[in-house]
Amino acid sequence: MIDLTRRALQVAPELLGAHLTSRVGGEQVTVRLVEVEAYEGTDDPASHAYRGERPRNRVMFGPAGHLYVYRHMGLHHCANLVVGTEGTASAVLLRAAEVVDGADVAWRRRLASGVCRHERDLARGPARLAVVLGLTREHDGLAVGTGGDGLVTIEAAPSGTAIATGPRVGIAGAGPEAASWPWRFWVVGDRHVSATR
DNA sequence: CGTAAGATTTACT
DNA sequence: GTAAATCTTACGA
């Protein structure tokens, strides 16, 4: 199993290929993570925790293994897995995944709050992934189980997944330096990785 | 208290 | 390719 008490930069690549199961809302969906980004808290200009603890981001300052879910652009939700030790505000943004179980539920949720044509786009992008998993602000702070128990659980990937790295997406406003750091990780060649504009 | 900008997605020209 | 949707948080006055 993955040790979530290390910093995001170290945990993020290990989450690729891992299976995440959500039983939120009484329905089960399992995805295989194919794209994530690391955010390092108060030292990272692109992190929501950069300017210190706030009501919205307080979960990131807590212990590892909890969800940080935020609302973005009024309409969307994005989910992070809080890692690191208490007080570091380290987190990993879940950007894209492949649905491996509960596809019927995933399709229903996506079509209910938007449009989706291809299986490839089911969970391709952080907000889409949150929809598929049924996660909203209500689930901010929810504990993530690592032993198969809980509303949301995560299961380590078999090792050997080929990984690529690159700059994070959509953080130009945080400055050119942070925007250049290769803190985005994805599975090489996987079609479910999100498109970058 | 008012305003600006945002870890995005979708629709339209 | 470009813009609109939509609302919360954050920051300045």
Please, how many CA atoms are within 13 Å of residue A105, restricted to the half-sphere of its CB? Answer: 21
State chain A's mean pLDDT as an integer.
96
Closest residue by Cα to the C1' atom of nucleotide C7? A74
Q: How far is the CA of A89 from the C1' of C2 (A)?
A: 36
Least Cα distance to A12 among A40, A31, A41, A37 occurs for A37
Per-residue pLDDT tens digits for A91-103: 999 999 999 999 9
Separation CA A35–CA A163 (nearest Å): 10
Q: Which helix (H) or strand (E) holds A93?
A: strand A90-101
Q: Which nucleotides of B are covered by protein (CB under 7 A)?
A: 5-11
Question: A38 and A8 in contact (C-beta within 8 Å)?
Answer: yes
Q: How far is the CA of A76 from the C1' of C4 (A)?
A: 15
Per-residue pLDDT tens digits for A109-121: 999 988 999 999 9
Per-residue pLDDT tens digits for A167-182: 999 999 999 999 999 9
Lowest mean pLDDT: which of A31-40, A78-87, A154-163? A154-163
| Identity at A146, one-letter amino acid code | T
Is the C-alpha dihedral spanning A21, A137, A194, A183 positive or negative? negative
pLDDT on residue A159: 83
Q: How far is the CA of A167 from the C1' of B11 (A)?
A: 28
Q: Provide φ and ψ at A187, rounded to 5°.
A: -80, 125
Q: Is the CB of A135 under 7 A from strand B?
A: no
